[in-house]
Amino acid sequence: MVTLRTYPNAAEAAVAKSLLDDRRIVCSLADEASHLYGGAPMAMPVRLLVAEDQVDEAHRILDEEGQSLPDEFDSISDSSKTSEIMNKELISELRELHQRQWWTTILLIALLVLTVYLISELPRREISPWTDVYRARR
C-alpha cells in the first residue's frame, strides 16, 4: 500500500475513500484517530493508502473535475419540496395527536372524579336493596 494523499481531517479522507471504494479501488485510511492519542486534530494528517498497482487510476478518479451525480439523485428543489410536504404532514399528525391527548386527558379526569365519588359515597349508603326487609324482620 502506498500513501496517495493526506487530508487534514477524517471527513475529507472518508469522502475520497468512498469515491475509490465505489470504483473498486483497494484503499484504506491510516491515522484516522491519531488526534485522539496525539492531541491536536491537525497535528497528524489522515493518510489515504492505495494498492500500488492502482495508484494511477486512483489519482485519475480523485482528480476528475465536476464528478457527475447518479441519475437517481434528487435535486435540491425536489428535496426542499419533499421536506415541505413532509413538514406539513408532520404538523397535521401532531395536531391530531394533541387533540387525542386532550380528549384522553378529559376522559381520564372524568373517570377519576367518578371513581372518587363512588368510593366515597357507596360505603355511606346501604348497599343492598333488601336492607329494609332485614330491619323489619328483626
Contacts for 8-16: CB closer than 8 Å, 24+ residues apart: 8/42, 8/45, 8/46, 9/41, 9/42, 9/46, 10/46, 12/46, 13/46, 13/47, 13/48, 16/48, 16/62
Q: pLDDT-based confidence at 95, cuts 50/70/90?
A: very high
Instruction: Output the pLDDT for position 106.
Output: 96
Instruction: Output the pLDDT for position 66.
Output: 46
For the chain, give every domain's residue range.
2-63, 77-138
Share of the chain above pLDDT 90, in %: 20
Please give the model's pTM, rounded to 2 decimal places.
0.45
What is the three-class DSSP state of 129? coil
Instruction: Output the pLDDT for position 88.
Output: 87
Nearest Cα neighbor of 48 from 16, 95, 96 is 16
Kindly report the CATH class assigned to 2-63: alpha beta
Q: Please state, in angstroms and rounded to a whole number, the distance separating the CA atoms of residues 78 and 124.
A: 69
Q: Regarding predicted confidence, which is higher, 26 or 67?
A: 26
pLDDT tens across 31-90, in order?
877 766 665 555 678 888 998 898 888 888 888 854 555 556 555 555 566 778 888 888
Please give the average per-residue pLDDT across 108-115, as a whole number. 95
Q: Please state, in angstroms and rounded to a whole number, the distance separating the CA atoms of residues 83 and 75.
A: 12
Q: Please state, in angstroms and rounded to a whole number, the distance separating the CA atoms of residues 62 and 54.
A: 12
What is the three-class DSSP state of 86? helix
Please give the average per-residue pLDDT across 13-35, as a whole number. 84
Q: Bridge partners of 47?
A: 6, 30
Question: Do residues 36 and 81 make contact, with C-beta atoms less than 8 angstroms apart?
Answer: no
